[in-house]
Each structure stands twice: as structure tokens, then as C-alpha cells.
Amino acid sequence: MEKRNNVTVFILLGLSQNKSIEILCFVLFLLCYIAFWMGNLLTMISITCSQLNGQPMYFFLNYLSLSDLCYTSTVTPKLMTDLLAERKTISYNNCMAQLFIIHFLGAIEIFILTGMAHDCYVAICKPLYYAAIMSRERCNTIAIACCTGGFIHSASQFLLTIFLPFCGPNEIDHYFCDVYPLLKLACTNTHIIGLLVIANSSLIALVTFVILLLSYVLILFTVRAYPAESRSKALSTCSSHITVVVLFFVPILFIYIRPAVTFPEDKVFALFYTIIAPMFNPLIYTLRNMDMKKAMKKMWYYQLFLQ
């Protein structure tokens, strides 16, 4: 007899079953979400309203902030609502939509970080050709490629999941809809699909992570011959990028590089790439960046208070 989908609503088990812990998490995530929006909006407005927007590094940073806002907003508002709710539910259609959007925006973020690493590599290792290589046309092409790659990745994940039959139970041991928890609920053999999901997600994350690490190794090797002041500035820029990459990629690799199984720790690691890493991005890229601090000071102090 052919199995069919008779599940219309999923129950999200969330981060904890302890109400006191949930209230504490709600307050913490609310503060983080407010700081996250303020930081990213401040970054985007400062870049857009200054001459920094003409520089490739800040062109990509602007897109990174925008993708962060959309990416985290796909998960965090629902998470905070569920922390205060007695029954945490999500409809089948909304679950599939959330899965598609979060993988689409997450992949875009991965590819944008790769584009920023490429920009950093060209700026430090090939400074004489930087203007020619990182032209605005090239930057626009990279941005379009990031969106295209994100769509292809997300569409493949979505198509692997949308045709799965769900006959019950309908409890997802997570705080958002992701592929592995859904594979666990499917009432069919998901071994082959699990391998395809691994090949898709883990391959993208692992290959991108290796490329990023190699680019930073080449950068660090190149800056050895630089004068002390130039070397210090280059290392400061690279350290910011490396911090973001580690915060974002290590949890992703922990979850997606293994076989299609779930662990209770997955929810904690998922917090890093859905909330914590995007929240720290504006702090890392602004507080450690003199150009950004100057642009913010000029725009928000001189323009708003002195004019």
C-alpha cells in the first residue's frame, strides 16, 4: 500500500521543556535580536551613505548584513514566540517554506563569505591588479552567483524533502524545520535521500571551508614580507574574517558532515549559525575596522547632531 502524507501540523519540541529556562532564553534572545537589528541596520546605513559603498569589501559587507537580517529573522521570531507558548506548532506548508528559506539564505551567506575572502586575497596578494580584478561589474557578478548558488542548494534540499510522506508522529526535536529532523519523521526509507542531503549540504560547507582556510593561509604567507604597519592592518582584517568563518562554519560542519542522524546537541550548535554568529558579524566588522568606525562617526555625529 502506498504511503501518503497525512500530517498537516508539526510540533516543535524547542530548546527546553523547562518553563523557567524558556523565559530566560526569551529575554536573552530578545535582547540579542534587538542588538542584532540595530547593529546590522547601522552597518548597512553607514556603508550606503558613505564612500565605503564603492569599495568591494564594504559592498560585500552590505550584502552580508542584509542576508544576516533575513536569515536570522526566518528563525528567531518564531523561536521567541514558541518560548512563551504552551504548544509549539508549525503547519506543514510553513515548515517547508521555512526549510527552503533558511537553506537559501544560509547558502547565500556562505558564498558571500567566500566572496569576501576572495576580495581580501586579491587586495593583499595582488594589490597592483586589485582595481581591475575587483571591479564593480565583478562584484555584481559574484553577488548574483551567490544568490544563484543559494537557490540551487535550497531547491535541491526542498525537493528532497517535499515528497517525503509523513504519517506520524509529528514531533520535531528542534526549534525550526530542518532536513535531518524531518528525515527522522518520514514514514519511508530515507537512507538514499539522507546520502543526497549529506552530499549537498556537507559538500558545499566543507569545500567552501577548505577554500576559505587555504585563502587565509596564502594571505598569512604573503603578509610576512610586508612592513610592520601594513602587516598589522592586513592581519587585523584577516582575523575578523577568520573569526566570522569559524563561528559560522564549525557548527554547520558538526551537524551536516556526518550521516543523517540527529543529536540533542544539534539545537545548541544550530544557535551558533542561526543567531549567535550573525549577531556578532556587525560587532566584528565594525569595532575592529577603523574605516567603518570613521564612517559611522562622520555620518551619525556630524550629520545628525551638527547639521
pLDDT digits (tens, 9 = 90+) for 147-180: 999 999 999 999 989 888 888 788 888 899 988 8
Q: CA geometry: angle at 148 spanning 146 and 154, to 5°? A: 100
User: Domain limits of the chain?
Assistant: 14-305
pLDDT band at 79 (very low <50, low <70, confident <90, very high): very high
Q: Which residues pair with 91 in a beta bridge?
A: 9
User: 7: Cβ–Cβ under 8 A, 6 or more apart, which residues?
Assistant: 92, 166, 167, 168, 170, 185
SS (H, E, C) the chain: CCCCCCCCEEEECCCCCCHHHHHHHHHHHHHHHHHHHHHHHHHHHHHHCCHHHHCHHHHHHHHHHHHHHHHHHCCHHHHHHHHHCCCCEEEHHHHHHHHHHHHHHHHHHHHHHHHHHHHHHHHHHCHHHHHHHCCHHHHHHHHHHHHHHHHHHHHHHHHHHHCCCCCCCCEECCCCCCHHHHHHHCCCCCHHHHHHHHHHHHHHHHHHHHHHHHHHHHHHHHHHHCCHHHHHHHHHHHHHHHHHHHHHHHHHHHHHCCCCCCCCCHHHHHHHHHHHHHHHHHHHHHHCCHHHHHHHHHHHHHHHHHC
Say whether pLDDT at 66 is over 70: yes
The residue-averaged pLDDT of 275-297 equals: 75
Say whether pLDDT at 141 is over 90: yes
Phi, psi of 90 (to 5 degrees): -150, 135
Peptide bond into 264 cis (omega under 30): no
Closest CA to 267 of 11, 10, 15: 15
pLDDT at 77: 92
Q: What is the pLDDT of residues 22-53, one digit of tens each?
A: 899 999 999 989 988 988 888 888 888 777 77
pLDDT at 5: 67
The residue-averaged pLDDT of 260-276 equals: 82
Q: What is the pLDDT of residues 219-235, one digit of tens each?
A: 888 877 777 776 776 77
- Its pTM stands at 0.88
pLDDT at 301: 63
Q: Could you give the percent of the chain with pLDDT greater than 90? A: 26
pLDDT band at 2 (very low <50, low <70, confident <90, very high): very low
Q: What is the mean pLDDT of the chain?
A: 84
pLDDT band at 187 (very low <50, low <70, confident <90, very high): confident
Phi, psi of 89 (to 5 degrees): -125, 160
Residue with cell 544550530: 270
Terminal CA-CA length for the chain: 75
pLDDT at 1: 39
Architecture of domain 14-305: Up-down Bundle (1.20)
pLDDT at 4: 60
Say whether pLDDT at 217 is over 80: yes
